[in-house]
Structure 1
Amino acid sequence: MENEAVTEGAATVPTGPAPQDIALGLFDEMLLFLEGLLRPWNAYQVVIVIAIFLAAHIAARILGPRWQDWLRHREGWPKWRMRAGVIVHRRMRLLMFVTLIWAVVLVMREVTWPSRSYLLGIIAELSSAWLVIAVVARFIGNRFLRSIIRTAGWVWVTVSILGLSDDAVALMDGIAVQLGQVRLSLWVIVQAVTILAVLFAAARFIAKNSATRIRKNPDISPSMQVLTVKAVQLSLYGAAVFIGLKAVGVDLTGLAFLSGAIGVGLGFGLQKVVSNLVSGIIILLDKSIKPGDVISLGETFGWIEQLGARYVSVVTRDGKEYLIPNEDLITGQVVNWSHTNAFVRLDIFFGTAYHDDPHKVRKVAVAAASSVDRVLSFRPPVCHIVGFGDSSVDYILRFWIDDPTGGLTNIRGNVYLALWDAFRDNGISIPFPQREVRMLGDDTGDTPDTASTGDK
């Protein structure tokens, strides 16, 4: 029965067989197919399929461990190649089944009538399609979406190979709702989800490979690498959405009004989000910070692990990861210990007793600092007197390092230990505050007894 169209005002509603009639027709065809399996020339083909499945299972049990051991020795392989090897290992039984059944089908078509291998050919086509869908679906990152696409693909391939695709399309197209001028059917939804999933998977695959190539390019700075990767991802995913909606016939002229509404919403409700996004772009463009830099922001000190669209990930020495909004890095005062270069000067203060020769103290302190591994020799340490305290002569020791990512507290501690050992070996003392206490007797004429104590 040919479809007709009924016009109601400005909307056109297609008419045709009712969905329940189509469903009943599909059910009748399925019953006829199942009855055909009981015929002798089809029953023995079912037995052959079972035998092939058992052979494929045994072959997979034998070859699977060997394939896995072979993969473990493939050092230096790119990630995508190792992932393909893992997919082959997981689908080993299905791969062996497809190989064996096609071999049997080709042999039977040469030695007997084509009708004697008709059912085997259908099962071979179905298993091959299922294998391809299972492999392709692995490139979809979202597990839930991957399951939906894989199931929908298997169902669609099955009805297509069995010659039921026209009836299935008519059934899904009959299940629809009318939204003003737009008729939204189940078939349109299935098309949209499938096309968008495939396009998003392709965009994700291209984006990941492009990002890997960009990050390996030494001529591009780290901040420009992040900006380029984000631009490529945004372009690919935007193109996937545009092409997908266009492919299913969605009118994109209404997106102009939608974009205006989104702009108003962003202006009022998403000010902080937009501010962080714009701040992130500014950070990437002016190269003020980049992955690997060591920064201080307030009480937070650590190195930049990742530059995100909304925040910057900063990892501290104690393993904590702070997600700092990009706006704070633009408006706040940030100390970048490795902005222009990685050279950092550190200062430590100490004091010695007044009876120690200050010239000797300075030489011993410089030598002690120079003996520490991370202290730079081509920028030698210096030591100066900064004052005369109540109990000690006060000094400042300055030295340079070029690896602030290795930590600052630990290098200061190592220099202090070197000073301690050097002062002990050279007889230099580190004084502590002292007080003099006088004990006065009842007779003021008596000479007071004096005693001194030390407070540490």
Structure 2
Amino acid sequence: MEPEETAAQTPAAPETEAPAAAGDSVTDIGLSLLAEGQDFLHSLLRPWNAYQVAIALALLLAAWLLRAAFGPRIRAWMAARQGWPMWRMRILAFIHRRLMGIFFVILIWLAVWIMREVTWPSRSYLLGIIARLATAWLVVTFATRFVHSPVMRTILRYGAWTYVTLTILNLTDEAGTLLDSVGFELGDGVRLSLLLLVQGFVLVSALMIGARFLSKTTATRIQRNEDISPSMRVLVVKAVQVLLYGAALFLGLNAVGVDLTGLAFLSGAIGVGLGFGLQKVVSNLVSGIIILLDKSIKPGDVISLGDTFGWINTLGARYASVVTRDGKEYLIPNEDLITNQVVNWSHSDAFVRLDINFGTSYTDDPHKVRKLAIDAARKVTRVLESKPPVCHIVGFGDSSVDYVLRFWIEDPTEGLTNIRGNVFLALWDTFHENGISIPFPQREVRMLPET
């Protein structure tokens, strides 16, 4: 009588539960997965399955003992081969850190093979699943080591572990149905589910990793091309990066079914708002592109901007890095390089002319002073012989004849103050040896008698 009463009562259920169809589907799937999990746990209690679990645990203990025995020996063997290439040492270091997993995979597959040869294949079924899971987890761990970002590597590793586990346990359809049942409607027939988000994240991440690899490879090749100017190399690398990352994002979202045309109006409104809020950022970005296109400033140039004197280290999208002689690194916005007066000491060539002003006594022969000044400048190492120094009289002062000594150098990155100091010192030594006096202002005070 109980089954009949139950059957008689069931027809009334759809009227009260119809509005919560989506919730029911999630509940039903969850209950189905829970039932399957309970069946799996019950199956573990069967004698042969319990034996296989015990064998797996024993093999895990054996793998731990093998790692404890061979780990120090392998580390000592690696320490004796420090001259090996870096990539080979990284592989050895990975193997050393995963010794327990490697030993476990070898032992469990050996146990599976022995059990299949000695007993019935069905009695090693659970052990085979554990072996496949351990192998897949080890392969995923090794593959994700090639991802440089720690955050991305962790996300990919746990995501791949989850996927291979569901695949080996034949639970991908149930998990996909459960994820797809959790979502909400956005209007016009567009539904955003948890499955769609997971698929989009996985696909976009994979495309981003591929774009990053291609951009690094392309950047390396472009930087090695000597036929392209340094400024154009930077511009091409930035353009390739923007193109690859933008294409990866667009293709990833489009592949999972996200309609990007509906975002056009929203992106336009956001763009207007960002345009007002990020005026300086956009200005610096456009200024950086202009600098790269007109080649007015490029990496390696020596510039002066206000009180800052140094050479361009890098050109970025927002600023230029200028390193001074005292080791300070100034981040100068690109807009300042466009709107302000910049002295580029090596724009068209590396030749720089420097002037030194000095004076001698009226009792000294000007012809002899000019000749000695030129000879003194030529003795300094960095002064060019191809552009010989010159010395001219520029005026007659209150207590001295004023001169200017002009000379050329071709290595402004080595500094300007030090070369001026060396030339001044050479002048001092030469004038001292030849009796040329350097006057200084003197004042004579006379005390008039009182009247």
Please give the TM-score of this superposition, normalised by the length of structure 1.
Answer: 0.84
Cα distance change of structure 1 residues 234 and 346 upon mapping to structure 2, 3 Å threshold: same
The number of aligned residues is: 426
Shift of 1:243: 1.7
Q: What does 1:306-321 correspond to in 2, within 5 Å?
A: 306-321=314-329
Quick check: 1:347 aligned with 2:355?
A: yes
Quick check: 1:268 aligned with 2:268?
A: no
Shift of 1:99: 6.5
After superposition, the C-alpha distances for 1:366-411 in whole angstroms (9 at most, x for unaligned) are 2222222221121121111111111222111111111111111122
Quick check: 1:132 aligned with 2:142?
A: no
Q: What does 1:199-214 correspond to in 2, within 5 Å?
A: 199-214=207-222
Shift of 1:175: 2.3
- The residue type paired with residue 400 of structure 2 is S
- The residue type paired with residue 157 of structure 2 is R
Quick check: 1:66 aligned with 2:90?
A: no
Cα distance change of structure 1 residues 308 and 407 upon mapping to structure 2, 3 Å threshold: same
8 Å CA contact 1:176, 1:186 repeated in 2: yes
Q: Which moved more, 1:361-370 or 1:340-349?
A: 361-370
Q: Which moved more, 1:23-32 or 1:412-421?
A: 23-32
Q: Which residue of 2 aligns with 1:359?
A: 367
Return the alpha-carbon distance in structure 2 between the equivalents of residues 347 and 418 of structure 1. 15
Cα distance change of structure 1 residues 66 and 120 upon mapping to structure 2, 3 Å threshold: farther
What secondary structure is seen at the aligned counterpart in 2 of 1:268?
helix
Return the alpha-carbon distance in structure 2 between the equivalents of residues 368 and 42 of structure 1. 91
Quick check: 1:101 aligned with 2:105?
A: yes
C-alpha RMSD of matched pairs (Å): 2.9
- The residue type paired with residue 25 of structure 2 is G
Return the alpha-carbon distance in structure 2 between the equivalents of residues 20 and 342 of structure 1. 74
Return the alpha-carbon distance in structure 2 between the equivalents of residues 32 and 364 of structure 1. 105
8 Å CA contact 2:392, 2:403 repeated in 1: yes
Shift of 1:161: 1.9
Quick check: 1:25 aligned with 2:41?
A: no
Return the alpha-carbon distance in structure 2 between the equivalents of residues 118 and 417 of structure 1. 90
Cα distance change of structure 1 residues 84 and 213 upon mapping to structure 2, 3 Å threshold: farther
Q: Which moved more, 1:301-310 or 1:111-120?
A: 111-120
Q: Which residue of 2 aligns with 1:49?
A: 60
Quick check: 1:384 aligned with 2:392?
A: yes
Among the aligned pairs, what percent are the same residue?
A: 59
8 Å CA contact 2:200, 2:252 repeated in 1: yes
Cα distance change of structure 1 residues 367 and 119 upon mapping to structure 2, 3 Å threshold: farther
Return the alpha-carbon distance in structure 2 between the equivalents of residues 32 and 351 of structure 1. 105
Q: Which residue of 1 aligns with 2:6?
A: none
- The structure 1 residue matched to 2:166, chosen from 159, 174, 186, is 159
Shift of 1:112: 3.4
After superposition, the C-alpha distances for 1:409-434 in whole angstroms (9 at most, x for unaligned) are 12212222222222222222222110
- The residue type paired with residue 289 of structure 2 is I
Return the alpha-carbon distance in structure 1 between the equivalents of residues 75 and 125 of structure 2. 31
Q: Which residue of 2 aligns with 1:452?
A: none
- The residue type paired with residue 385 of structure 1 is I
After superposition, the C-alpha distances for 1:250-282 in whole angstroms (9 at most, x for unaligned) are 112223324433443344333332222222111
Shift of 1:17: 5.0
Quick check: 1:182 aligned with 2:190?
A: yes
Cα distance change of structure 1 residues 360 and 203 upon mapping to structure 2, 3 Å threshold: same
- The residue type paired with residue 50 of structure 2 is R
Quick check: 1:89 aligned with 2:93?
A: yes
After superposition, the C-alpha distances for 1:199-222 in whole angstroms (9 at most, x for unaligned) are 212211221121111111111110
Q: Which residue of 1 aligns with 2:411?
A: 403
Return the alpha-carbon distance in structure 1 between the equivalents of residues 294 and 23 of structure 2. 57
Please give the TM-score of this superposition, normalised by the length of structure 2.
Answer: 0.85
Q: What does 1:427-438 correspond to in 2, within 5 Å?
A: 427-438=435-446
Q: Which residue of 1 aligns with 2:153?
A: 146
Q: Which residue of 1 aligns with 2:175?
A: 168
For structure 1, the residue ranges without an aligned partner over 5 or more in a row are 1-7, 445-456
Return the alpha-carbon distance in structure 2 between the equivalents of residues 107 and 335 of structure 1. 76
Return the alpha-carbon distance in structure 2 between the equivalents of residues 14 and 341 of structure 1. 74
Which of the two has greater strand per residue? 1
Cα distance change of structure 1 residues 38 and 99 upon mapping to structure 2, 3 Å threshold: closer
- The residue type paired with residue 126 of structure 1 is L
- The structure 1 residue matched to 2:424, chosen from 410, 416, 426, is 416
Q: Which residue of 1 aligns with 2:305?
A: 297
8 Å CA contact 1:56, 1:100 repeated in 2: no
Return the alpha-carbon distance in structure 1 between the equivalents of residues 266 and 43 of structure 2. 50
Return the alpha-carbon distance in structure 1 between the equivalents of residues 410 and 416 of structure 2. 11
Return the alpha-carbon distance in structure 1 between the equivalents of residues 75 and 254 of structure 2. 44
8 Å CA contact 2:66, 2:103 repeated in 1: no
Shift of 1:120: 4.6
Q: Which residue of 1 aligns with 2:330?
A: 322
Which of the two has greater helix per residue? 2
After superposition, the C-alpha distances for 1:36-90 in whole angstroms (9 at most, x for unaligned) are 68622442233123213432454343224533553x424xx6xxxx467425513
Return the alpha-carbon distance in structure 2 between the equivalents of residues 276 and 339 of structure 1. 21
Cα distance change of structure 1 residues 138 and 295 upon mapping to structure 2, 3 Å threshold: farther
Cα distance change of structure 1 residues 23 and 120 upon mapping to structure 2, 3 Å threshold: closer
- The residue type paired with residue 72 of structure 2 is R
Q: Which residue of 2 aligns with 1:3?
A: none
- The residue type paired with residue 230 of structure 1 is K
Return the alpha-carbon distance in structure 1 between the equivalents of residues 148 and 168 of structure 2. 28
